[in-house]
Amino acid sequence: MKDFFDILRRFIPPYKKFLALNIFFNILSAILNLFSFALIIPILNILFDTGGATYSYIEWEWNPGSWEAWKATPDVVKNNFFAFVSDLIATRGGSFTLIILGVFLIVMTFFKAASTYFAFFTMIPIRTGVVRDIRNRINRKITQLPLGFFSKERKGDILARVSGDVNEIETSIMSSLDMLFKDPILVSIYIIGMIVISWQLTLFVLILLPVAGYIMGQVGKTLKRKSLLGQEQWGYLMSQIEETLGGLRIIKAFNAERKIQERFEKSNDTFRRTTNRIYRRQQMSQPMSEFLGTVTIAIVLWYGGSLILNDDSSITASTFIYYLVIFYSVINPAKDLSKALYAVQKGLASMIRIDKILMAETNIKDPEHPKSIRLDDRIVYDNVWFKYQNDWILKGVSLEVRKGRTVALVGQSGSGKSTLVDLLPRFYDVDKGSIAIDGVDVREATLHDLRALMGNVNQEAILFNDTFFNNISFGVNNATQEQVETAARIANAHDFIMASEKGYLTSIGDRGGKLSGGQRQRISIARAILKNPPILILDEATSALDTESERLVQEALENLMKNRTTIVIAHRLSTIRNADEICVMHEGEIVERGRHDELLALDGYYKRLCDMQSF
């Protein structure tokens, strides 16, 4: 349970007011329940006329500072209550007394039911709030984690944690909170009442209960292990679905439908077998607790009956029945508690998987004492080395990009072009060397200030399932309609936007699925134009365009790049012919640099790339 209390420590503090009210109403409900059961004794005495003992009122002054007063309180209250009932029977008769006792029972039950309702009422904000907070923390963490984290994790598995695992926590842990806070209170108060009635019987019961609890606990441990395995298998299933949705075109083109189906069905069947074992163990809790409870009651009946049959017994038959009622009342919350413990074990397995995200280290952090950063002169890569895992991707790269100039990076796939560009906005941090803007190391500025200097247009246009307007104004707060339209016109996107059903308010579908590749790219370019950044990063921005789309976009790109510091990753010659400097990369190093004509004259790597038409 240490892991469970750790979850409470992390997520409950904002709701401690509701938790305090919940505990208060649970205690009140248990006390009212205990006292309402106490009416059984005089009712039984009246019905069976077993009241041989006589009671008289005890004059009693309660002293809160005296232990003797505390010790005598239960006996005095019990004596005076029975004295009141005896007088009532003697003066008004047994039938009238039963009516009075029945009214007391109804009133106390009403207040007990109200207390129980308010206990549930105050638990609801805790349950829903904690689940909301977990989702918010996961989403916040996902946006804060570096890109390197997601290259190691399967996207489908992350989706499974955000959806399935959080839902499991809601249904397992959060739904058990009321039982975990209510049932221990009920059990504790009922056991205190049992001790007051007969400490011998209660001692006997407390020896039996831990044995049953130990048996239930052993089954719960294995459930947690199976649940963790089940959640991992569910994550793998989600990954397969995500891959299938993303690769449907290839699957159909290669007639691989059956292969994909068989792979999924095999994994799904494995998940089913694991789930069967989990559910079987989970459903074992109720019959096991009922059986153990019945065994315990039978033993208590035997032992309590032995005490009553003993002439020296201090417990009467009616009191023993009251004791059994209380003990039976302990069984139900104890049973619910065992169910809750099973559910918590299942939910803790999901929390372990979620914590892999929440506890992941974020190595790309803001400095404690950030410096202001702006571009007035140049960007300098100074002897930059970088590797993702073992092999160096960049090897001692040095590069200078002066303000207002365009530098193009070319080379074969895997030569390090995109990695070099990704280091500038600190999607990753360099392992050796440094990158500075006007002499300020990018690691000395805040991520927000650094990335505010840059606009990105990638090979694959990253768009959202939203309107044209919101996609173009994505990186700009409070953008006006006029500003968005101006950016769209520059990117040659205005005409096809206005031709859509609702103009700029038209939704473009998931990842821009309603648009052609060229249209998606022009929306992406319009977004960069609206941001109007001093540094522009074009990562093969025109490679996804056909000839007509490229003609429409190229002019907009040239206008955007004019008097702006631009780093271009490109294969198409039309994009980089007029660059101020072209850097040819090969196996993580810059092997040639110069203008287009100069590099052709060298007859080296660049000339071979041009001849192979890799642009």
pLDDT of residue 118: 92
pLDDT of residue 613: 58
pLDDT of residue 386: 93
Is the per-residue pLDDT at 473 higher than 60? yes
State whether 434 and 521 are in the same domain: yes
206: its two tokens = 């407390």
- Note whether residue 368 is domain-resident: no
- Note whether residue 370 is domain-resident: no
Is the per-residue pLDDT at 311 higher than 70? no
Q: Are 160 and 238 in contact (CB under 8 A)?
A: yes
- Note whether residue 364 is domain-resident: no
pLDDT of residue 114: 92
pLDDT of residue 260: 81
Q: What is the CA radius of gyration of the chain?
A: 37
pLDDT of residue 221: 57
State whether 279 and 428 are in the same domain: no
Q: How many CA atoms lie within 13 A of 113 on its CB side?
A: 6
**Model confidence pLDDT, tens digit, residues 65-78:** 666 666 666 667 66
State whether 177 and 131 are in the same domain: yes
**Model confidence pLDDT, tens digit, residues 598-609:** 888 888 888 888
pLDDT band at 384 (very low <50, low <70, confident <90, very high): very high
What is the pLDDT of the chain when averaged over all its residues? Answer: 79
pLDDT higher at 100 or 373: 373
Measured distance CA(6)–CA(13) in Å, rounded: 12
Mean pLDDT of 264-291: 77
- Note whether residue 397 is domain-resident: yes
Is the per-residue pLDDT at 165 higher than 60? yes
Measured distance CA(563)–CA(569) in Å, rounded: 18
* Burial grade of 296 (CB within 10 A; 0-12, 13-18, 19 or more): buried
Q: Give the 3-state secondary structure of 122-137.
A: HHHHHHHHHHHHHHHH
Number of domains present in the structure of the chain: 2
**Model confidence pLDDT, tens digit, residues 519-573:** 888 888 888 888 888 898 888 766 555 566 666 667 767 767 777 898 988 766 6
Mean pLDDT of 100-108: 82
State whether 339 and 481 are in the same domain: no
State whether 123 and 220 are in the same domain: yes
Q: Give the 3-state secondary structure of 44-65.
A: HHHHHCCCCCCCCCCCCCCCCC
Q: Is 393 helix (H, G, I), strand (E, B) or coil?
A: strand
pLDDT higher at 112 or 302: 112
- Note whether residue 208 is domain-resident: yes
410: its two tokens = 């070319």
Measured distance CA(148)–CA(159) in Å, rounded: 17
563: its two tokens = 């008097």
State whether 496 and 564 are in the same domain: yes
Mean pLDDT of 304-308: 73
The residue among 328, 358, 388 that closes a domain is: 358
pLDDT band at 266 (very low <50, low <70, confident <90, very high): confident
**Model confidence pLDDT, tens digit, residues 415-459:** 888 899 989 989 889 999 999 999 999 999 998 899 889 888 877
pLDDT of residue 54: 60
pLDDT band at 614 (very low <50, low <70, confident <90, very high): very low
Among 106, 86, 105, 83, residue whose Cα is nearest residue 94: 86
pLDDT higher at 185 or 583: 583
State whether 420 and 350 are in the same domain: no
Measured distance CA(550)–CA(530) in Å, rounded: 20
State whether 399 and 488 are in the same domain: yes
pLDDT higher at 94 or 216: 94
| Poorest-pLDDT segment among 3-12, 48-57, 267-276 | 48-57
pLDDT of residue 199: 77
Q: How far is CA 542 from CA 519, 551, 568, 576, 614, in A?
A: 11, 10, 11, 11, 14
Among 51, 49, 69, 53, residue whose Cα is nearest residue 61: 69
Is the per-residue pLDDT at 181 higher than 80? no
Q: How many CA atoms lie within 13 A of 396 on its CB side?
A: 1
pLDDT band at 303 (very low <50, low <70, confident <90, very high): confident
**Model confidence pLDDT, tens digit, residues 188-242:** 888 888 887 777 778 877 776 666 666 655 555 565 566 667 767 777 777 777 7
Q: In this structure, what CATH number is given to the domain that contains residue 293?
A: 1.20.1560.10
Q: Are 182 and 333 in contact (CB under 8 A)?
A: yes
Q: In this structure, what CATH number is given to the domain that contains residue 590?
A: 3.40.50.300
Residues 6+ apart with CB under 8 A from 371: 440, 444, 445
* Burial grade of 417 (CB within 10 A; 0-12, 13-18, 19 or more): buried
Is the per-residue pLDDT at 312 higher than 60? no
Q: Is 441 helix (H, G, I), strand (E, B) or coil?
A: strand
- Note whether residue 206 is domain-resident: yes
State whether 180 and 296 are in the same domain: yes
pLDDT band at 583 (very low <50, low <70, confident <90, very high): very high
State whether 228 and 102 are in the same domain: yes
Range of the domain at 134: 2-358
- Note whether residue 371 is domain-resident: no
Instruction: Provide, rounded to the nearest whole percent, the portion of the chain with pLDDT above 70.
Output: 78
Measured distance CA(404)–CA(254) in Å, rounded: 48
The residue among 327, 358, 389 that closes a domain is: 358
**Model confidence pLDDT, tens digit, residues 30-62:** 888 887 777 777 666 665 655 555 666 677 666
- Note whether residue 372 is domain-resident: no
State whether 320 and 425 are in the same domain: no
Is the per-residue pLDDT at 125 higher than 90? no
Query: What is the separation, in whole angstroms, between the first and last Cα of the chain?
Result: 61
Strand extents, DSSP E, 258-391: 378-387
Measured distance CA(246)–CA(436) in Å, rounded: 38
Burial string for 551-586 (b: 16+ CB within 10 Å, else e) reads ebbbebbeebbeebbbbbbbbbeebbeebebbbbbb
State whether 401 and 350 are in the same domain: no
Q: Kindly write down the DSSP assignment for every residue of 575-607, as one continuous string.
A: HHTT-SEEEEEETTEEEEEE-HHHHHHHTSHHH
